[in-house]
Copies of this chain bind each other. A is one copy, B any other.
């Protein structure tokens, strides 16, 4: 790796942590370059503005999520198995990237239209999931609900769990945020969605 690429990667790694801890506004370019042992102009040189650096962080996080979701959706198997793979991909991603929920919540809290990396990567995830739904419906394995609504049920539960797991544990008194119980949440979501999308039984 050449030095410029190396500096760029270090800045990106440091910025991800600082943005996650403090949010976009409170994070300073000076703090990021200092922690990256780079000069103050390095952010401008490698990324452009502080906003561009933030978008690069968001792009990196969401690209990793997309890779996993698209790979999961491409697995062979029954519709139930493929839905379980997608739900698992969300859980595995958030387990490996504990900083990701905070960045996503802070992005949501901005209350502005979603930025290009979010629209791009979430759009790709959605397309991959919609393909699984449509194929399952074509095979008669899933009932003919609107695919976008089925996709919403698959995505919303793992994402909300990742974002609110600590609050859910605090409110319920059940430590659902602990790893051994998280696996049960994952399994529950996959099973509930698969059953909820199953076709009518004949004679029902």
A122 near B153 with CB under 8 A, answer no
Q: A161 to B155: give the CA distance in the assembly, Å.
A: 11
Whether a CB of chain B sits under 8 angstroms from the CB of A172 is yes
A159 near B160 with CB under 8 A, answer yes
Q: A166 to B123: give the CA distance in the assembly, Å.
A: 14
Residues in B whose Cβ lies below 8 Å from that of A1? none
Q: A193 to B194: give the CA distance in the assembly, Å.
A: 11
Residues in B whose Cβ lies below 8 Å from that of A146? 184, 188
A51 to chain B, nearest CB (A): 18
A185 to chain B, nearest CB (A): 6
A105-B109 contact given A122-B171, A184-B149, A195-B195, CB 8 Å threshold: yes
B114 near A170 with CB under 8 A, answer yes
Whether a CB of chain B sits under 8 angstroms from the CB of A35 is no
Residues in B whose Cβ lies below 8 Å from that of A167? 108, 114, 118, 122
One of B109, B166, B195 near A196 (C-beta < 8 A): B195
A117 to chain B, nearest CB (A): 11
Q: What per-residue 1/0 map shows which CB atoms of A88-127 lie under 8 Å from chain B?
A: 0000000000000010011011010110001100110010
Residues in B whose Cβ lies below 8 Å from that of A184? 146, 149
Q: A118 to B166: give the CA distance in the assembly, Å.
A: 13
Residues in B whose Cβ lies below 8 Å from that of A174? 148
Residues in B whose Cβ lies below 8 Å from that of A148? 172, 174, 176
One of B111, B152, B168, B201 near A185 (C-beta < 8 A): B152
